[in-house]
Structure 1
Amino acid sequence: MRAALVHTCGAPPVAGERAVPVPGEGELLLRVTAASITPLDRLCASGTSYFGAPATPYVPGVQGVGVRDDGTAVWFPTSAGMRPGDGSLAEYAAVRAADTVELPDGVDHRLIAALGLSAVAAQLALTWRGELQPGERVLVLGAGGVVGQAAVQLALLAGAGSVIAAARSSAGQQRAARAGAAVVVPLEQGDDVAGLASRLRSAAGGPVDLVLDPLFGIPAAAALRTLRPGGRLVNLGSAAGETAPLESAPLRAGSLRILGYTNNELTPAARSAALTLIATHAAAGHLTVDHTTVRLTDITTAWHRTDHRVVVIP
């Protein structure tokens, strides 16, 4: 079969040939229809992740969409790059049957591949971890990214009263606006905590109840100052920095909560339920995310594209 192959950690994969995998006990063979390139794929293939350097050559791809022998479309995860074994960026994948999630008829496989675990993180960081209540005001940082775009839409679908977004690039700001943000605040290179906090408060027109934060760093410290007493900030990434200049006084004075979120904590049942909800929203036309589709033969040039979520069609 055709497959993307990482031969050397730190180098992009190349298109090549790989034996069709043989399913083990409890596994099934899927014909892959779409698989996204995610930040986790790049991290694992770099050889610098906390999982350690993977044995090479291997097929990357920690998630994808495929079709069973009976024609049923499913979303599936893999542990490629984290444990020995191949992933989704190939024509076929052998996966644990219990981990697959059946998809609605007619849903766009490329869109589900683009949303995938990023949308799961957005959904559960908002609702399970962030305890979003109907009518609450939400601030989404990094709203031009895949998690951010999904979070804006999913917050509104969950009953948020309004969503304020913040994004760095002009394209990201436009994506956040298209996703449904009431106001989009530009994040600028020279931002300081006080200045950005002032701009966020002004744009929001009052305190917010919940912040979804895939950035950390200065944006998180600024967003913390926009929260109402008892408000929550849920962090699920560090794209703007591994540390943030948080101050004690606002935390104590507002009895604020800072919460961490990771998909790694999810049970298979919780992940499946979130994926089913996401696929239902997507099939109904209520949830989308900007993405670019490429052929497997273009994997090397597409590997480091970060301006869009890249979906590979094997």
Structure 2
Amino acid sequence: MRAALVARCGQPPVVGDHPAPSAGPRQALVRTVTAPITPLDLLCASGTSYFGEPATPYVPGVQGVGVVESSASVPAGTPVWFPTSAGMAPGDGSLAERVVVADAELVVLSGTVDEQHLAALGLSAIAAWTALLLRGGLEAGERVLVLGSSGVVGRVALQAARLHGAGAVWGAALEPEAHQDALDLGADGFVALARDDSAESLTERMRETVGEVDLVLDPLCGVPATAALGCLAPHGRLVNLGSSAGATATFSSAQLRSGSRTILGYTNNDLTAEQRSDAMTRIEEHAAAGRLAVPYEVFGLDRVGEAWTRQANGEVHGRAVVDLRD
């Protein structure tokens, strides 16, 4: 079968022939329709993630949308979304014509959302959704600040916060166009970030815009997270799910303790199959109704190296999605 293959960590995948997989007990054979290239794919294939360096060659792709060809629990022909552990554990991922997935991991789809759009939402949307609701405990009426609001996670978080009754929502990002994008997605305001921000100046600028917030969604860490911690209201929570702006952030012990404020870590890997399925089902429902959307660009499998490089360089508007249909 045709597949994208990472032959060497740190290098884009190339298209080649790869042995077709066979499903074992409690496994499904899925024909992949489309799969996104995500920050997690790039990190795993770099060989520098906390999962360790993957054995090469391997097929990347930590998720996909496809059609069941055989399964003990799902009828053949059923459209599904599925995760994989490619790059995090031995085995191949979704950027191949066929993939083997545990039956329990399949999420049956209604087919009401374009496959490429659903792939673009995927795990990033699940992360935003569950980090806000399960980990962050968002309640109606609370004030939310979304760092990195220009990314797929951030865009979904802005929309999800509104869908769940947030009293006010603000975005924060580097890109000049991100201000209007955040307002278009329902934000009440926006904080412009800069690469040379100091924590002190950014905290002051944030507080001028948002005052205090109850919940911060943080895929950035670094200076933006440090500044956002200074804007947390008493009993406020910051949920970190990434470090694209820096590996560390700092906080004041007095400020944290005096208001019983909380810093929380989040990873999709802690979700149960049931939690992941429930989140994806809700995401599909809202996307079908036009209440949840992210931008994406579609590439054929023969252009997977280009798609990979452009996603890594931040040259894709939204998410790069690879279509594996002929």
Which residue of structure 2 aligns with residue 168 of structure 1?
A: 174
Deviation sequence 1:71-119 (CA, Å, 0-9, x none): 2211001111122221101122111111010112321111111111111
* CA offset digits 1:19-63 (Å, max 9, x no partner): 322111111111111100111111221222232222222111010
Q: Does 1:240 align with 2:250?
A: no
Partner of 1:27: 27
Superposition misfits of 4+ residues, deviation over 3 angstroms: 171-175
- Partners of 1:272 and 1:230 lie apart in 2 by 30
In structure 2, the partner of 1:2 is 2
Question: What residue number does 2:41 align with?
Answer: 41
Question: Bigger shift: 56-65 or 41-50?
Answer: 41-50
Look up the SS of the partner of 2:165 in the other structure.
Answer: coil
In 1, distance between residues paired with 2:111 and 2:319?
A: 23
Q: Over residues 242-300 of structure 1, what are the superposed CA-to-partner deviations in whole Å (9 max), with x where a residue is unaligned? A: 11132222212322111111111111111111111111111111111111111111111
Q: Tell me how large the CA RMSD over aligned residues is.
A: 1.4
For 2:260, give the aligned amino acid: S
Partners of 2:47 and 2:271 in 1: CA distance: 25
Decide whether the 8 Å contact of 1:167 with 1:176 is kept in 2.
Answer: no
For 1:170, what is the secondary structure of its paired residue? coil
Normalising by structure 1, report the TM-score. Answer: 0.95
Q: Deviations over 1:212-271 (max 9, x none)?
A: 111111111111122211111111111111111322222123221111111111111111
- Cα distance in 2, alignment partners of residues 274 and 103 from structure 1: 12
Q: Which amino acid aligns with 1:179?
A: L
Q: Which moved more, 1:148-157 or 1:240-249?
A: 240-249
Give 1:131's aligned residue.
Answer: 137
Match for residue 209 of structure 2? 203
- Offset of 1:312 from its aligned partner? 0.4
Q: Give the structure 2 partner of residue 312 of structure 1.
A: 322
What's the % identity of the aligned pairs? Answer: 57
Q: How many residues of Structure 1 are paired with residues of Structure 2 in the alignment?
A: 313
* Structure 2 counterpart SS, 1:124: helix
SS of the equivalent of 1:68 reads strand
- Partner AA of 1:63 in structure 2: Q
Paired amino acid for 2:36? S
Q: Aligned partners of 1:39 and 1:150: how far apart in 2?
A: 16
TM-score by length of 2: 0.92
Gaps of 5+ in 2: 70-75
Which ranges in structure 1 are unaligned for 5 or more consecutive residues? none
